[in-house]
Structure 1
Amino acid sequence: MAGLSYSAHLSQKNSAINSKAKLSGVAKHNLRKYRSLEYDKENIVILCGTDKLVQDVKKVYKEQFDEAVREYNKKQTRDDRKIDDYFEKTAKSNKDMAVELIFQIGDKEFWDKNPDKRRRMDVAFKEMLNMLQKEAPNLVVANAVIHYDEASPHMHVVAVPVADGFKKGMSRQVSKRKVCTKEFLEKVLQGRIREYAEGRSFAWIGEFLKGKEKGRNNDLTVAEYKTQAETKKANQLAKENAESEQELKETMIKQIAAEKELADMYEELKIVENVADLGKNVKKLETMVRKGPDNPKGIMSAKNYREKIVIPFIDKMYDAFKNVVNFAKGCFAQLKELTEKYNEQLEVNEMLRKQNSRLRESIDEQEKEIDGLYDDRKKLGYFKKFLKREDYNKVIEMGEENYKRNVRSR
Structure 2
Amino acid sequence: MTGKGSLNHNSRKFHAKNTDPNRTHWNVEYCNEDIKDVYHELFDDALKRYNDKQTRKDRKIDDYYEKIRSGKQEKLFHEVILQIGDKDNMGSETMEGQLAAKILDEYMKGFQERNPTLRVFAAHLHLDEATPHLHIDFIPYVTGSKRGLDTRVSLKQALSSLGFKGGSRSETELNQWVQSEKEKLAMVMRENEIEWEQKGTHEPHLSVLDYKKKVREQEVEELTEHKNLLEHDLHDISECVDEIQKEKEQVEKERDAVIKKTEVLEKRFSALNSKAGLVDSHAREYGYYPEEWLPEAGTLESAKSYRKRIFPLVKKVANMIQALYSKYLELKSKNQKLSDRNLDLENRVDRLREEVSVIKKENVALLNVSYDMDRVVAVLGKNKVKEAIEVAKHLEQANAKQNIKKKRIDRDGR
TM interval, shorter chain, is 0.3 to 0.5
Say which structure is richer in helix: 2
Q: What TM-score does the superposition give when structure 1 sets the normalisation length? A: 0.41
Instruction: For CA contacts below 8 A with separation 6 or more, give which structure has more relative contact order.
Output: 1
